[in-house]
Structure 1
Amino acid sequence: MKTPAEYLDAPLLYLTYPTGEEAEQVPVVSYDDALRAVETALADAEKYKYLLMRALRRSVPGGLAESAVEAAIRPLYPDMAA
């Protein structure tokens, strides 16, 4: 998995005074680059979620997974059921 900084593949800029000295030690990232990094991170998270869920489904014994699907669902308030 990547660290948050690895999603930013754009050059980082530093704020400077007119004299050329650095005003802050915090890098400045453009809005578009930050948005692209967030979208990439979300896409990776979906991929990791899919892989994790697939691994979990494969690791569950067959009888356990089937019984959960076939369980009957009863209404909490039977008088209000339409």
Structure 2
Amino acid sequence: MKTPDQYLNVPTFHLTYPTGEDAEMVPVVTYDDALRAVESALADAEKYRYLLMRALRRSQEPEAADLVLSPEAAVRPLYPETDLAA
């Protein structure tokens, strides 16, 4: 996975006061560059989501075979019969 600064591979600018001294050393990125970085991060997130869901499906397939109930399996109600009548 990428770190947030790897999505912004563009030059950044630092805020300055009108006198020329640095304001807070906060990097400033243009709107278009930030928008491209967010779109790239969302595309990567969708890719990682797909890979994660595929891995989860593959890891759960053997367990799903164990959960198949046979017709002979006893079915027990979750609640007592007295509560069902109410």
Q: Which residue in the other structure is 1:20 paired with?
A: 20
Does residue 1:58 correspond to 2:55, yes or no?
A: no
Question: Secondary structure at the residue paired with 2:9?
Answer: coil
Q: CA RMSD in A?
A: 2.1
Give the number of the structure whose alpha-carbon radius of gyration is greater.
2
Q: TM-score, normalization: structure 1?
A: 0.69
Aligned length: 67
CA distance in 2, matches of 1:63, 1:13: 54
Question: Secondary structure at the residue paired with 1:23?
Answer: strand
Give the superposition deviation at 1:19.
4.1
User: Deviations for 1:25-79, whole angstroms, at most 9, x for unmatched residues?
Assistant: 10001000100000000000000000011111111125727x7xxxxxxxxxxxx
Q: Which residue in the other structure is 1:3 paired with?
A: 3
Q: TM-score, normalization: structure 2?
A: 0.66
**Unmatched tracts of structure 1, length 5 or more:** 68-82
Give the superposition deviation at 1:20.
3.1
- The range that moved more, 23-32 or 10-19, is 10-19
Q: Which residue in the other structure is 1:47 paired with?
A: 47
CA distance in 2, matches of 1:36, 1:45: 14
